[in-house]
């Protein structure tokens, strides 16, 4: 899962996992974090997250259960921010571009593309960046296979 940290300073939050006290350092921008670690951080810092850090930390989990589009839910890919859900298209263009540029899994890129295409007015720059990233990763995969 991915957590965006919108602050220029590093933030260290404590958590306990498997009975061991640890710290996770959030750096400005995109932070990749295991869902179990995020649950532990949320449990240890619930009050601080609810009252203060939620202003700076935004959780994006592309692996949330994808619900097929229906009349009630037309968004197959959701972002969890506090207690609200946002679709991929609710990211700003720059946030979407940053996310795409830092994604190495072609399946995730296709999910982002499907989510963007499901909108009435998909953003062409985001779609073009996704296509470019898919081509770039495919080319890298091809070179790796040739080298083996």
What is the spatial distance between Cα 146 and Cα 44, in angstroms, rounded to a whole number?
47
Nearest 5°: phi and psi at 81? -125, 110
Give the model confidence (pLDDT) of 28-75 as tens digits: 887 888 888 888 988 888 888 877 777 777 777 554 433 344 334 343
Burial (Cβ within 10 Å: 0-12, 13-18, ≥19) of residue 114: middle
Give the model confidence (pLDDT) of 68-120 as tens digits: 443 343 434 444 444 344 567 777 888 888 888 878 888 888 888 888 888 88
What is the spatial distance between Cα 138 and Cα 132, in angstroms, rounded to a whole number?
10
* Predicted TM-score of the model (pTM): 0.49
Burial (Cβ within 10 Å: 0-12, 13-18, ≥19) of residue 20: exposed
């Amino acid at each position: 899962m991915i957590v965006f940290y919108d602050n220029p300073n590093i933030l260290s939050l404590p958590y306990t996992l498997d009975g061991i006290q640890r710290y996770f350092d959030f750096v400005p921008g995109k932070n990749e974090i295991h869902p179990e670690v995020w649950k532990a951080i949320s449990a240890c810092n619930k009050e601080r997250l609810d009252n203060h850090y939620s202003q700076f930390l935004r959780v994006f989990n592309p692996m949330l259960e994808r619900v097929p589009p229906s009349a009630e839910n037309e968004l197959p890919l959701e972002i969890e921010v506090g207690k609200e859900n946002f679709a991929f298209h609710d990211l700003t263009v720059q946030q979407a571009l940053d996310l795409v540029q830092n994604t190495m899994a072609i399946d995730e890129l296709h999910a982002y593309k499907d989510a963007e295409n499901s909108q009435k007015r998909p953003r062409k720059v985001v779609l073009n960046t996704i296509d470019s990233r898919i081509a770039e990763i495919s080319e890298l995969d091809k070179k790796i296979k040739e080298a083996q």
